Every structure is written in structure tokens, then in C-alpha cells.
Amino acid sequence: MELCFATNNEHKLDEVSTALGNAFILRTLHDIGCTDELPETTGTIAGNSRQKARYIWQHFGIPCFADDSGLEIDALNNEPGVDSAHYSGTRDHGKNIQKVLTNLLGQSNRNAQFVSVFTLIMPDPSGEPVEHQFTGIFPGQITNAPRGTDGFGYDPVFLPNGYPRTLAEMSMAEKNAISHRAQALKKMVDFLSA
């Protein structure tokens, strides 16, 4: 069965294709001819994930899934949340990290979590779309300064609970085994395999 992943992000694509194995023919936005900027206007991670998947289903009629993720920091009222990718007003990872660290100055509560939500849309036997959502939550702490050079986004300042290294100090394989996206993806793959 063909299944479209509503992304052109190579990091995400590698992770998902490895998890899905050969059970599905995975298509990207590029593969299905989608050059549109997918809408992300709901204000929530789950809502944005659903909105992107619905857009693909409505415009291309192919079984699909979309994800949305974000970093939620307790002391910042769950910011940056849905604005994680452009928290500083840009998509510059370094500037986004710097804004987080600046906003946390003087805060003793460094608790944070990454949240990832996958929305899967597949037709039922009558051809009507059925939606399923799968959530992964990855708790940790925000460090006082960046550590490590691997990964992307907020990985250099995110120290997962129970681990001595930030995500940027881990290999991609280590990170992919425990991350929020990996958790949500495993739930979706288990569902598809049932």
C-alpha cells in the first residue's frame, strides 16, 4: 500500500522509512507532486498535525500521515510549543536556542518535554477517511548552555530524564530509539501492523 508522509524533511523521512520497513511504499510530498506550503494554523501540536494530514487527503486522496512536534518548557508556560521551529522569529536553530536560554535566565525550574503527534488518515472499506492520532512525550531538562554537535533544533540544550548526555551528544541511532517522534511513530507502526 502507498502511504504519503506529509514532509520533505530528510531527517524525519529516514527515521520513518526505517521504522516502517518494507510493509508500505512511502511517498513524500515531492513524490505526490505537492509543492504547497501545508497549513499549520490551529495553535496546537495535535491540531497542526491533523490539519496537514487532512490537507493531503482532501487535495490528493492518498492514505497519508503528518506529524507535528514541539518543545514545551514548564517555566515558559509551555513555550515555544507550536512555535518551536521559529521561536526567535527565524528558523535559525542557534537563535531559537539562545532565546530559550535567555528566557530561562534565573529560572530554577528547567523541566521540559518534547511532544510529537502523528495523524494518520486511511480510508475505511467504503472509502471514507478515518483519522487516528498517536502521541509521544519525551521529558527532560533544559541545560544552561548548548552541549554536543549532533542532531538539530533544540537537541544541544535538551537533557533527557535519566540520561547524562544531551540529544546532541547522542548518536542519531540512540536518539531515534528514545525520542518523542520515535514513541509516536512506534504507536502508529504497531497500529498499521495489527
- The percent of residues above 70 in pLDDT, for the chain, comes to 100
Rounded distance between C-alpha atoms, residue 62 and residue 130, angstroms: 12
Distance, CA of 128 to CA of 179 (rounded, Å): 32
> Model pTM?
0.90
The full set of domain ranges for the chain reads 2-193
pLDDT in tens, the chain (194 residues): 889 999 988 777 877 887 787 878 889 999 999 999 999 999 999 999 999 999 999 999 999 999 999 999 999 999 999 999 999 999 999 999 999 999 999 999 999 999 999 999 999 999 999 999 999 999 999 999 999 998 789 999 999 999 999 999 999 888 888 999 889 999 998 998 88
- Which phi-psi region, left, alpha or beta, contains residue 33 (left: φ > 0; alpha: ψ -120 to 50)? left
Residue 183 main-chain phi, psi, to 5 deg: -65, -50
CATH code for the structural domain at 2-193:
3.90.950.10
Give pLDDT tens digits for 143-171.
Answer: 999 999 987 899 999 999 999 999 999 99
CA distance 47 to 183: 19
What percentage of the chain has pLDDT greater than the value 90?
80
Q: Which active-site residues does the annotation give?
A: 68
